[in-house]
Structure 1
Amino acid sequence: MKIVSLVPSITEALFDLGLTENEIVGRTKFCIHPQDKIKNIVVIGGTKNINIDKIKALQPDLILANKEENVKEQVEALMTNFKVNVTNVETIEDNYYLLKNLGKLFGKEERAQLFNLKIYEILHQTKLNTKIKTAYLIWKNPYMTIGSDTFIHRILSEIGFDNIFKDKTRYPIITTEDLAKADVIMLSSEPFPFKEKHIEELRAFYPEKKIMIVDGEAFSWYGTHIAKCENYFKELLAEIHAMQI
């Protein structure tokens, strides 16, 4: 079976489940894991600007897309010629079924279940003792955060962070003043590449708050990626615990 993946985290998951470069024939430029295996796979554009002609040339048996990450019109255009599986992952349960379904689709059920068990273990054993009021920023100019109907929010909540924008949906635009209630301000490494200078900019407004860069992949990459984040989450929570003492 020849597969084209339009979703970075699903590309990673396919390799983790045991598929190879012989089966995964196309990927986006944002499909960067696993580094040693994706380098020889044909790049068919970005997640939002797919090169349909390149995909047609590959003649895939299956295309894997995502409701949020890909453009509806482009996915529908592919559906006229190819079998397209469109995923939608907003909750931990959605992620469980994503892996379960991928496992069933490719005959990798046992491996998929091992990843699901590992993710369950990490999210249930790695928690803060008390909820910490948190703002998680994904963009700058304007600042954008995450609402309660996002996968990022679910991961934050699972490990003990209280999203101060949980009454919002999707990715609302906010102001610096809206961050006042947060004890911790997280600046994600993606999609906007926040750096130390951005911490300093916010520290000018909130010198007493904990402001930190966090690994965006650990919070937003669904599929198998969370199973690899145990140490990262433990170190992050240890840093927050130290702040509380």
Structure 2
Amino acid sequence: MQDFKDQLNRIIHLKETPKRIISLVPSQTELLCDLGLEPYLVGVTKFCVHPHHVKTKTTVIGGTKQIHLDKIKALNPDIILCNKEENTKDIVESCEHVCSVHVSDIYNIDDSLELISQYGEIFNCMQNAFSIIKKIETELRSFNLFIKNKPSLKVAYFIWKNPWMVVGNHTFIDYLLDLNKLQNVYSNKERYPEIELTDSAVHNNVDVVMLSSEPFPFKETHKKELQELYPNATIILVDGEMFSWYGSRLTKAFAYFKTLRLNLQNNAL
């Protein structure tokens, strides 16, 4: 028997290295596969789209907010991997009646690296975990040098329509925006607030409006709708996975952020 802590400082008791894993978080599913653990994945959510084939080789046990507990029980898992934001407290508590549950809690890069390290220890794949961590740290150092002398831009980051919802503070996306020297004009609001598009004082002061690819799939047609409301802003579509997936996707995110900033520069911002 070995004890581990998750990111809520909960103690997890494991008799041996888990061989039957269920992941209830898309970005964590991708991380598991990049850690070489795909053969041990027995269950994922319908939103686990990376790698693209993972849903065809495992059992889909529902979404991130609604699960089929009977399917989970039938898979006889050794461990279930959750996230404080993605999954509800009820889901975590229900899963705890099945087997050990690890809950992640991510607000910044340090939290992300800690999660990767924890998985390395729990699943006995520290060499692969260390490799991913080093890659992220190298990419981050390079990006920090790149962004150092770039001007700060005011940004609104939209995640939903009807109702309109944006990213506020105490979120991983807000943290990454700040890292990109993108000042979130809605950082005075908590988490993911609904907003009314009536505040012209805010609208006129926005340099960039970002329309995320997830969870709402914003398209080119939505840009025109917001351009009238944010007359001085450049409206762009952004890859939501790069701004919100906190696992091994971070090995690719900083190159994406560099390209994004260069494209904004070319628009003379």
TM-score, shorter chain, exceeding 0.5: yes
How many pairs align? 244
Q: Unaligned stretches of 5+ in structure 1? A: none
Structure 1: distance between partners of 2:135 and 2:252: 9
Q: Does 2:164 match 1:146?
A: no
**Which residue number corresponds to residue 121 of structure 1?**
138
Cα shift at 1:123: 2.9
Q: Which structure 2 residues correspond to residues 1-245 of structure 1 after superposition, within 5 A?
A: 1-21=19-39, 23-126=40-143, 127-128=146-147, 129-178=150-199, 179-180=202-203, 181-244=205-268
Cα shift at 1:217: 0.2
Give, as a single letter, the amino acid of the residue that structure 1 aligns with 2:68. Answer: N
Residue-by-residue CA offset, 1:130-155 (whole Å, 9 max, x unaligned): 11111101111111111220001111
Equivalent pair of 1:29/1:43 in contact (CA under 8 Å): yes
Cα shift at 1:207: 3.5
Cα shift at 1:212: 0.6
Equivalent pair of 1:134/1:161 in contact (CA under 8 Å): yes
Equivalent pair of 1:9/1:31 in contact (CA under 8 Å): yes
Structure 2: distance between partners of 1:238 and 1:90: 26
Residue-by-residue CA offset, 1:102-124 (whole Å, 9 max, x unaligned): 11111221221222222223333
Structure 2: distance between partners of 1:102 and 1:76: 21
Cα shift at 1:205: 2.2
Out of 90-99 and 24-33, give the one that drifted further: 90-99
Residue-by-residue CA offset, 1:3-41 (whole Å, 9 max, x unaligned): 0000100000000011123x1000000011111344211
Structure 2: distance between partners of 1:158 and 1:121: 15
Cα shift at 1:211: 0.4
Cα shift at 1:125: 2.4
Task: Normalising by structure 1, report the TM-score.
Answer: 0.94
Cα shift at 1:175: 2.2
Equivalent pair of 1:189/1:215 in contact (CA under 8 Å): yes
Give, as a single letter, the amino acid of the residue that structure 1 aligns with 2:21. Answer: I
Q: CA RMSD in A?
A: 1.5
Structure 2: distance between partners of 1:103 and 1:2: 16
Residue-by-residue CA offset, 1:148-195 (whole Å, 9 max, x unaligned): 200011111112211112222211111223451211000000001111
Structure 2: distance between partners of 1:2 and 1:25: 6
Structure 1: distance between partners of 2:113 and 2:255: 21
Give, as a single letter, the amino acid of the residue that structure 2 aligns with 1:31. Answer: C
Q: Identity over aligned residues, as a percent?
A: 45
Equivalent pair of 2:243/2:253 in contact (CA under 8 Å): no
Q: Unaligned stretches of 5+ in structure 2? A: 1-18
Equivalent pair of 1:124/1:158 in contact (CA under 8 Å): no
Task: Normalising by structure 2, report the TM-score.
Answer: 0.86
